[in-house]
Amino acid sequence: MRFGFHISIGKGFRNVVEQATIRHCQTIQLFSRNPRGWNFGALDKCDILEFQAKVKKADISPIFVHMPYLPNIASQDKDLYRKSLASIITELERCEIIGTQFLIMHIGRRMESSEKQALVKVSKGINTSFRKVKNSVKLLLENTAGMGSEIGYKFSHIQTIFDQVENKDRLGVVLDTAHVFEAGYPIHTKEGLDKTLKEFDELVGLKRLYLLHLNDSKTDFKSRVDRHWHIGEGKIGLEGFKNIVNHPLLKHLPGIIETPRKDVKEDLKNIKVIQNLVKA
């Protein structure tokens, strides 16, 4: 398993690899722009070319771009839906320019609608996005903890979206370990992990799983409360993560760590812990 972190582009794409190297990243995740706003500027061609050269030299791959926080194509609000759809379309285009193959999207929040209505809205939005942007970038749906009005906390929700999306070859999944656990899938035990993966394979398909977000949970099993915590220090625990990173159905996947951080020290601690769990 190749491990890495979400890396800031605050100082430009050209400085990403330096931050990634300090953290011993083999893979990385990043935003293509400010994740907390709707506005964005054009990508700097020279900045991107330098980034691409450094990534290649450092042998960092794959690279994942994460959608901003505000878009929600599960919403029935026409203005929010329109802006959210435009954001996905823009990010798919930006991924191609950056040279990344994967775009990660939170499935969304149903707000005042039913789960069924929200899932239909998400599927329609994905279909529209793929029709507008005909490149090879894969859109990865990230499962949720089910906090508030979130959808996507059940594998059956993800199955429903796949069933309604026309171009399934451009759609995939990223599983967040904290979210899975908090949503009620018992991945903290070996038997529970096997059972969870079996259900995911039956409903969605393990062939559609491209990435793991490796986060321990500060909240309890089935809490439906999303709180990431340091590897081995939360409710999933060291034994749980040892089973995850060495599982024959998962160990070929890249893993992005999204644990709390104040500075690089926390990241170095977490990557050391998880690397030490990998069996030779």
Residues annotated as part of the active site: 36, 66, 69, 106, 142, 176, 179, 213, 226, 228, 258
Our CA angle for 148, 186, 28, nearest 5°, is 75
What span, in angstroms and rounded, lies between the C-alpha atoms of 120 and 164?
A: 8
Q: What are the tokens at 278? A: 């990998």
What span, in angstroms and rounded, lies between the C-alpha atoms of 82 and 72?
A: 10
Encoded amino acid at 74, one letter: A
**What is the sign, positive or negative, of the torsion defined by CA atoms of 70, 74, 80, 81?**
positive
Q: What is the dihedral of CA 90, 121, 174, 213, to 10 degrees?
A: 80
User: Hunting for tokens 């030779």 — which residue is that?
Assistant: 280
Between strands 255-257 and 209-214, the pairing is parallel
